Amino acid sequence: MLLGTLSASNASAFDGDAEAGKAKSATCAACHGPDGNAPVTMYPKIAGQHADYIYKQLQEFKLGMTSGGKEGRMDPVMSGMAMPLSDQDMKDLAAYFSTLSMSAGTTPEDVVAVGQQLYKAGDAERGIPSCAACHGPRGNGTSLAKFPKISFQHPEYIKAQLEKFRDGTRNNDMNGMMRDIAKKLTDKDIEVLSKYLGGLH
């Protein structure tokens, strides 16, 4: 009943069918786990992620391949995985994974204070805005603006994405916002934020 209710909610957003997505999700489980909580920390947890965000990323992985890397997002694994997916497949998979629950994580005590300060307040002197301004005080993001849920995400994955935004190898962010911010982050900032987000709730 819950799955049906959530599926209907997602369908109203972009016609994704969660039941159909479940049937199509077997290949995804190899890296992201059967419940969307990736057991290998280099891969992201996608359970409970906003359907609109998952759909957008799948579209851009495919675009990255079809454009030869000139547009979209390139990834050695996901770009190839997205190629055979139809637009409806993407919508269905996004709807399905959004209905699942992301497993909780923890934040090491030694990064709580500095991580919270950087996440919630940023650093005005260095021109770093608050992460919470877009991703929310609890890291839940927002579906409408396609800002992802980042709380409970694997720290290793968050660290890798921030580094890619910083060096420009990931460039599918809205108006270059994440690239502009990441360029101002030190290695220590990225390490602290990544660990802090692992248990943010």
154 belongs to an annotated ligand binding site? no
Mean pLDDT of the chain: 93
Residue spans of the domains in the chain: they are 2-98, 109-198
Looking at 3.40.980.10, 3.30.70.20, 1.10.760.10, 1.20.120.330, the CATH number of the domain 109-198 comes to 1.10.760.10
1 belongs to an annotated ligand binding site? no
42 belongs to an annotated ligand binding site? no
Integer Cα distance of 105 and 173 in angstroms: 25
135 belongs to an annotated ligand binding site? yes
* pLDDT exceeds 70 at position 45: yes
| Cβ atoms 19, 107 nearer than 8 A | no
Predicted pLDDT of residue 4: 41
Give the pLDDT confidence of 129-175 residue by residue, as tens digits: 999 999 999 999 999 899 999 999 999 999 999 999 999 999 999 99
Looking at the whole model, is its pTM more than 0.85?
Answer: yes
Nearest CA to 151 out of 97, 100, 195, 96 is that of 195
CA-based Rg of the chain, rounded to a whole angstrom?
A: 17
Structure tokens at 78: 């996901």
81 belongs to an annotated ligand binding site? no
Integer Cα distance of 144 and 200 in angstroms: 21
2-98 shares its CATH topology with 109-198: yes
Please name the fold of domain 2-98.
Answer: Cytochrome Bc1 Complex; Chain D, domain 2 (1.10.760)
